[in-house]
Amino acid sequence: MFKTIKRLFFLVVVIAIVGAYYSWTQRADLLSSYLSTAADVPVTIDTIDVGFRGITIEKFFIGNPRGSTLPTAFSTDSFMVKYNPLRIMTSPHEIEEIVIKDISVAVEQYRFGGGKSNWTIIIENLSPSGEESSDTEESATPSGERNVIIKRLLLENITVDVINPLLGKIHTTIPKIELYDIGEEGSFSPHVLMKVILDAMMRSLLTNPDLKKSLEDMINLPTKLLDTIILDRDDGEPIDLKESLEAAKDILKGEGKKLEDVLETFGGFFKGLSPEDNEDDSSEDSDQ
C-alpha cells in the first residue's frame, strides 16, 4: 500500500514537472494565443526569453481586425523589458525601461473625419471589462489591479502607414520616441500602454514633413488634375475650372494661413485612436 502511494506521488510530481516544462517552453505560443483571443486579431510571438533582470520578446506581430486594408497593425523585431528584481516585487511595480526597436505600425481610419479605426477596435477589446466610468475608476481600485510605473519607454526606427478614405495611404518614418514616468498618475494596464504609444506616434506624425507634404498635395491635387480641363457654360463662354479651384483652395487655406493651421484643420483625421473618442462618435451616430 505504501509503495503504491509512493508511486502515485512520484507520478504526480513527474506530470507536474512535465506540464510546467511544457508551459515554460511554449510560453510564446501561450501568450500569443491569449492576446489573440483577447484582442480578437491574429497575434504571433517568435520567442520569449526571461532573465533575472529582464524579458526579451522577438518577432512580435499584431494583425488588423477583419475588413482592414493592411494585414499588420503592429510588428517589432525586438521588445525588451528591463527591471530591477527588487523594485518589480514592490508596489507600485517599477519597470526601469522598455525598448522597442524596428517597429511597423498601421493606423487605418474608416472615415475621414475620425471615429472607428483599427486601433480603437484593438484597444477596446484589450480594455478591462469594468472600465466604463472614469468616476468609478477614481473612487475605487478594482481588486487585483496592479500599479506599474515605466521609468523610460524608448521606441526606435518606426515605420508608420496611415490610411484614410480621402487621403489614401501616407507612408512615413519616425526615428525615435522617448517617454518617461508612464503610469505615475494612476493605475496601469496593457491597453493604456498601447494608447500612450499611439498618442506619441500621432503627435510625432503631425510635425512630420512627409505628412505635411501629403496634406499640401491633397489640397493642390484638384487643380493639378483639372489644370487643362475647360467646360462650356450655357452662354457659350468657357469656364476655367483651374481658376475656380484655385479660389476654393484659397478659401480653404485662408489668406496667409500657414500649413500648420491646415494640419490643425485636419486634426479630426487623428480622432478615434482612443475608446473615449469612439464612444463619443458612436453616440453622435445613434442620436442621428
Q: What is the pLDDT of residues 80-98, one digit of tens each?
A: 999 888 887 777 788 899 9
Say how far apart CA 211 and CA 18 lie, in whole Å. Answer: 53
Strands 238-240 and 72-82: unpaired
Binning pLDDT at 50, 70 and 90, where does residue 255 land?
A: very low
Strand partners, 153: 98, 179
Strand partners, 56: 49, 80
User: How high is the pLDDT of residue 215?
Assistant: 59
Q: Could you give the 3-state DSSP secondary structure of residue 271?
A: coil
Q: Distance of CA 78 to CAs 25, 62, 194, 228, Å?
A: 19, 14, 16, 51
Average pLDDT over residues 268-275: 46
Binning pLDDT at 50, 70 and 90, where does residue 99 land?
A: very high
